[in-house]
Structures are given as C-alpha cells and as structure tokens.
Chain A
C-alpha cells in the first residue's frame, strides 16, 4: 500500500463553520505534511509532523490547527476561515528524515470558503 488517502475530496464551508480534513497512510512513514496549493502555484508548506510531534509550523494562522493522533493519521482542523483560504490542501508523508526519500502525496481536498 503506497497510498496517502485524504478525505473529503471536496469541501465547501462558511466562514463561521468548523470542519476537519483527514489524511491517512499505512506505509509506516514517520513524517507527515500539510501543504496548501493555490491555482497555478506550487505547494506551500504549512506543517510538518515528525514522529507524531509538530516539528515545523510555517507561521500558519491559528484558524488552521493540525493534529496527529497517531503515526498513521493527520488531521487539519479549520475554524473561522476566510475566502482567501480557498485552495487545494495536500497531505504528504515521507519515511523519515533521510534526504534521499521522496514524499508521497494524497489527491488533496479542494476547499471552498464562502
């Protein structure tokens, strides 16, 4: 199993809603990532979890709250988002810190904030 599974695939939410994005991998990878991708732009790193601990937060606003309940799961909790937060949110995983290891990406959640 070399998949990273993200749910839901599409999400529309109002600015006062609370929602969560989910990501799951069963490859035994110890690093997991959230990226945000706007149209025609490269992915922008938001958070990195290493061995279930938050290791990188790229100064992301607090309306985005990541959580890593166990080594296979990664959540992104959303609250009070703005329309400009509409984007494709990508989850990725990587075996560990080895520099020669590639990241495996999920298909993404297309988020629209109305």
Chain B
C-alpha cells in the first residue's frame, strides 16, 4: 500500500541555517504530495504541495520538488527563523479513496 517515510527528528538548527527534511514515498500511480506544518497546540496547516513529477511547491521560503525517479519530496529552506519551530508532516494523497497518508512527522527546533 501507499506509505510515507520521513527522517527522524528532532532537528535542531541555529537561526539562518539551511534546512532539509527528507521525505520519501511508496505509491502506485501518480500521487499528489504535500507538506503540512503544525505549531504547538494547533491543527495542521498546508505549507506547500506538488501534484505531478518535477513540480516544485513553494511557500514562505520553503520549497520541495516532486522527484518521481527517487520517489522523494524533500523540504528545504535556505535560512530558518525561530518562528519556523514546529512539527512538519509530509503527506501523500492520490489513490481512488479519499485518504491522505501522513509521515511520522519531524520536529524542528530553531535556536536564536
């Protein structure tokens, strides 16, 4: 079945450092891929998405490229801020059901 694998956290960075959070997926067909962010005590917010191979999603300085050849959708940001501290979830949606399948989440802590 479809699945998503994310790198283990927590990831701890200093402000202005470069961020990469790895995400790989297993799926049949041509799924859409999403990154969601969850701040403490809140629900999930969509950060970005990509719906086909080689698409790049971007938002708020974050980017991720849908790589079908490596089945990956890694999240990157060139310069993180303290306010980016949150849990990031990679998600896959794309079979005939309505399911949205989440990775295990990666906690990011950015220190001043």
Contacts and interface: CB of A to CB of B under 8 A. Distances in A.
B98 A94 contact: yes
A46 B44 CA distance: 16
A50 interface: yes
Interface in A13-39: 31, 33
Interface string A43-78: 101001010000110000000000000000000000
A7 to B, nearest CB: 13
A42 B42 contact: no
Given A90-B44, A100-B49, A102-B46, A42 B97 contact: no
Interface residues of A, number: 27
Nearest to A109: B43
A50 B98 contact: yes
Contacts of B95: 99
B89 interface: yes
B104 interface: yes
B31 A42 contact: no
Contacts of A87: none
7 nearest CB pairs, A to B: A100-B51, A42-B102, A105-B43, A99-B94, A105-B44, A107-B43, A100-B32
Interface of A: 4, 6, 31, 33, 40-43, 45, 48, 50, 55-56, 90, 92, 94, 97, 99-108
Interface of B: 30-32, 34, 36, 42-46, 49, 51, 89, 93-100, 102-105, 107
